[in-house]
Amino acid sequence: ADFAPNDLETLQVLGHGNGGTVYKVRHKHTSVVYALKVVHSDSDPMIRRQVRREMDILRRTDSPYVVRCHGFFEKPSGDVAIVMEYMDVGTLDTLLKKNGTFSEAQLAVVARQVLNGLSYLHAHKIVHRDIKPSNLLVNQKMEVKIGDFGVSKMMCRTLDACNSYVGTCAYMSPERFDPDTYGGNYNGYSGDIWSLGLTLFELYVGHFPFLPAGQRPDWATLMCAICFGDPPTLPGQASLEFRSFIDCCLKKESSERWSASQLLSHPFLSKKSGNC
Ligand code: ATP
Ligand code: MG
């Protein structure tokens, strides 16, 4: 809150997202390094609305499993910026590309942290709606935190808005495409669990689950695979615990999917941890 844009010195660009850019910045007086997400005033009004929503949600979250937010500002030019905790290793997506696939022990460590984050968010009536490797951030302490609340939703608002097509389609659950068939008691929270299941699956096999390695699908093919196909199954060498854990996340019928707090007591999470 007490950051002035002039207190921050830009070090480098960390990434570009939808309409915004994330910079690595340093506070001139304290030398503390932060990540600064800037959405420019000339960007799409929808994107600007999203960044305001993200600010709203980050303001309310206080969890070691959610990327911390240290302040906001709006420049006179109309640019909106969020000062966040800097996650110095990057995202799970960059780790996958750099180091290759994750072991089950590493994934158990990842899963426990993301589930702690999701259980915190869901208890606070926040649905993330865009859980995927590139939105899970990692630091040197091997802490994994949920980031990027650009399309998240506070459930205290209308349920209906939760059904709209936001988020990255590939990781969207069957009920997001087809609520009548897979909706059960659709509440949005279980969509995050589906996305977590796909994310862990991808980190294990090295490519997006519904597709052979290297294939980039069109949206319709993917939607058909998600809605009409069976949930993907792990390759033969996966342990029974991991298989069962993924099954609990990837139940097509959303009401059968386990909740974040149920999954936190799944036997897969007690696997002995290796180095992440
Ligand atoms: P995407 O479509 O990849 O999810 P986005 O529009 O959602 O992009 P962000 O996810 O907020 O934008 O950020 C884009 C990139 O900036 C990320 O992929 C990550 O590499 C980097 N980044 C974001 N937040 C942080 C942070 N707190 N610490 C370090 N790097 C970050
Ligand atoms: Mg993102």
CA-proximal residue: ligand 1, atom 2 (nearest): 17
CA-proximal residue: ligand 1, atom 25 (nearest): 35
Which residues share a beta bridge with 127? Answer: 153
Q: Is 50 in the pocket of ligand 1 (CB under 6 A)?
A: no
Q: Is 84 in the pocket of ligand 1 (CB under 6 A)?
A: yes
Provide the whole-model pTM.
0.88
Exposed / middle / buried, residue 53 (Cβ in 10 Å: 0-12, 13-18, 19+): middle
Q: List, in sequence order, every beta strand (DSSP E) within 93-203.
A: 126-127, 136-138, 144-146, 153-154
Residue that has been written with the tokens 């809605």 in this structure: 227
Among the atoms of ligand 1, which is closest to the Cα of residue 16?
Answer: 14
Compute the distance between CA of residue 49 and CA of residue 150 in angstroms, rounded to an integer.
9
Q: Is 217 in the pocket of ligand 1 (CB under 6 A)?
A: no
DSSP state of 230: P
Q: Which of 18, 54, 91, 145 to mutate to test the pocket of ligand 1 (most atoms within 8 A of CB)?
A: 91
Q: How far is the CA of 237 from the centre of ligand 2 (A)?
A: 31
Residues of the chain with pLDDT under 70: 1-2, 18-19, 151-167, 184-187, 271-276
Q: What is the pLDDT of residue 16?
A: 87
Among the atoms of ligand 1, which is closest to the Cα of residue 130?
Answer: 4
Q: What is the pLDDT of residue 157?
A: 41
Buried b (16+ CB within 10 A) or exposed e, 65-92: bbbbbbbbbeeeeebbbbbbbbbebbbb
Give the distance, in angstroms, between the CA of residue 202 and the centroid of all CA atoms in the same chain: 14
Ligand nearest to the CA of 140: 1
| Average pLDDT value for the chain | 86
Q: What is the pLDDT of residue 239?
A: 97
Here the ipTM equals: 0.93
pLDDT tens, residue by residue, 214-272: 777 778 888 888 888 899 999 999 999 999 999 999 999 999 999 999 999 999 998 65
| Residues acting as catalytic residues | 130
